Amino acid sequence: MKAPKFSTLVFVVLLVWPYAILQARQADTLQLNLREVVTQAKENSIAAKQAYTVRETKYWEWRTFKSNYQPQLALSGTLPGYNKTYAQVLQPNGTVLFQPVRNDNSSLRLDFKQGIAATGGTIYGTTELQRFSDFDRHSVLYNGTPYGIGYSQPLLQFNSLKWDRRIEPLKYNESRQAYIEAQEKIAITVTGYFFDLLLAQVNLQIAENNYTNTTNILGIAKTKFDLGKIARNEILQLQLENLNARKAVGTAMRDVEIATLNLKSYAGIDGSQRIKLQMPGLAGDFTVPAERVLSEAFENRSDAVAFQRRMAEASRDVAKAKGANGLVATLNANLGFSNAGSRIPDVYHAPKSQQSVALQLSIPVLDWGRSKSRIKTAQANEQLTRYEVEQDKQIFTQQIVTQVTLFNMMKEQTGLSARADSIASEKYNIARERYVLGNLSITELSIAFQENDRAKRDYIAALRDFWGAYYQLRYLSLYDFERNEKIKYEENH
């Protein structure tokens, strides 16, 4: 069998090599559309991780708040309580002797506490056992409280448990909605990086096409010049445009590298693969009435929850000022049993009852109007907060109405820009063919050339404005108008 000829091998290599290069480039290129980039950024970007960390912090703050309304048990004690020293002992005749002391005084105590949100009081209980061992006299004594229960009630004072129960759920709900807003804010930001790279890639494609077209037209023009059909001025004009197109390719390649780095860095895209972005179309065919967006925004946004929280906090500050009017009164009541003995069972056998009731008072006689001033200040701040909230609501409403109008305008503008791009492209192709045939001037060709480039860039800019407005609308309402559902918060606990 004869070996293949060298020329045949060269032919096969030349035939297969371009295809192999193309396959290698495709394998090393990451194809992404806008929604995939947004999803990637929401999952892997530093901003997403920061938002998740803030969400976790707010969740555990919420858990801490809820624990304030649950029974609290605490075990404390001294085990052991060994002591060896000299103690001062007063004698019957008035003299003092220093006697050696060696003992162990150990104790164990279990305390129970439960806050009462309705009244601001606290119910508590305890049980305790103490063991005292005197090593010098070889004696052991036990003392203890089998059980005791008590109640402490502040009178005419600020009830923090009651107000926290009203405000903290608002703060937690606000943080949950703020997390969704942070995710949508990431979508807005990464959309900007997406279109930066898309525009750079389109500019590179335009520059490469222009360089190829001007090179081909320049070759035809040289032939015409040799035949004396065109002036040298046209040759110089085409050479200038060819050089500018070549420079534009280099500039566009640089812009693509920078935009790729920026997009990868923000979206958290790892690897050295090249990125090829797909041209996005318009979102689904749906209408966005301003009334619906306002309704969803006032139901979903963290700002809407914050309006309620700010007013509740202002009212709380007034109640706190009134509660701190100078009078401090606390009612304490205790009921329990205690006993002592030489053995542990003696402590719990027929213990002796003990009770106490005490009303502690502190009333300022002269405070020079301090309490009244605090109340008036809190009331003035409450009124100011009410005005600020009303103003913020108006700004909030106007922002949403404006964004809805902008979105509907951008949707129409994008369709018009797409049509203009198609017309400009067709016009350029016709102008190029007419120039080759010799019935179009170089000036008219240049105009068609520039209009085609401008139309493509205008279409990208229109798409950028449309999708920016779309994600801004999602951010302002926390509502997905394509799926016709609220953007949900995923619980991980």
User: Which pLDDT score, from 0 to 100, does residue 6 have?
Assistant: 45
Taking every pair of C-alpha atoms in the chain, what is the biggest distance, in angstroms?
A: 143
User: Which pLDDT score, from 0 to 100, does residue 224 have?
Assistant: 74
31-65+163-313+373-486 — its CATH code? 1.20.1600.10
Instruction: Report the alpha-carbon distance of residue 470 to residue 408 in Å, rounded.
Output: 9
User: Which pLDDT score, from 0 to 100, does residue 11 have?
Assistant: 42
DSSP state letter for 230: S
Residue whose structure tokens are 């709900």: 173
The strand pair at 139-155 and 328-341 is best described as antiparallel
User: Which pLDDT score, from 0 to 100, does residue 361 have?
Assistant: 87
CA dihedral over 398, 404, 405, 409, signed as positive or negative: positive
User: Which pLDDT score, from 0 to 100, does residue 138 have?
Assistant: 86
Cβ(431)–Cβ(443) below 8 Å: no
Identity at 92, one-letter amino acid code = P
Rounded to 10°, the helix 46-67/160-226 angle is 170
According to the 3-state scheme, what is the secondary structure of 190-220?
A: HHHHHHHHHHHHHHHHHHHHHHHHHHHHHHH
User: Which pLDDT score, from 0 to 100, does residue 492 have?
Assistant: 65
pLDDT (tens digit, 0 to 9) for every residue of the chain, 493 residues total? 444 444 444 444 444 444 444 344 455 788 999 999 999 999 999 999 999 999 999 999 999 999 988 999 999 999 888 999 988 888 888 888 888 889 999 999 999 999 998 888 999 999 999 999 988 888 999 999 998 999 999 988 888 899 999 999 999 999 999 999 999 999 999 999 999 999 999 989 888 888 887 888 788 778 777 777 767 877 787 788 889 888 988 999 999 999 999 999 999 988 778 899 998 887 766 778 888 889 999 999 999 999 999 999 999 999 988 888 777 889 999 999 988 888 888 888 888 888 899 998 888 887 787 888 888 999 999 999 999 999 999 999 999 999 888 888 888 888 888 888 888 888 878 887 887 777 777 677 778 878 888 888 888 889 999 999 899 999 999 998 888 889 886 666 6
Give the bridge partners for 139, in sequence order: 134
User: Which pLDDT score, from 0 to 100, does residue 490 have?
Assistant: 67
User: Which pLDDT score, from 0 to 100, does residue 60 have?
Assistant: 93
**What three-state secondary structure class fits 424?**
helix
User: Which pLDDT score, from 0 to 100, does residue 169 have?
Assistant: 94
For 287-381, strand residue ranges (E) read: 328-341, 352-362
**What three-state secondary structure class fits 50?**
helix
Cβ(118)–Cβ(95) below 8 Å: no
DSSP one-letter string for 136-204: TTTEEEEEEEEEEEEEEEEESS--HHHHHHHHHHHHHHHHHHHHHHHHHHHHHHHHHHHHHHHHHHHHH
The domain locations on the chain are: 31-65+163-313+373-486, 76-116+121-157+328-362
User: Which pLDDT score, from 0 to 100, does residue 4 have?
Assistant: 47
Burial 262-271 (b: 16+ CB within 10 A, else e): ebbebbbbee
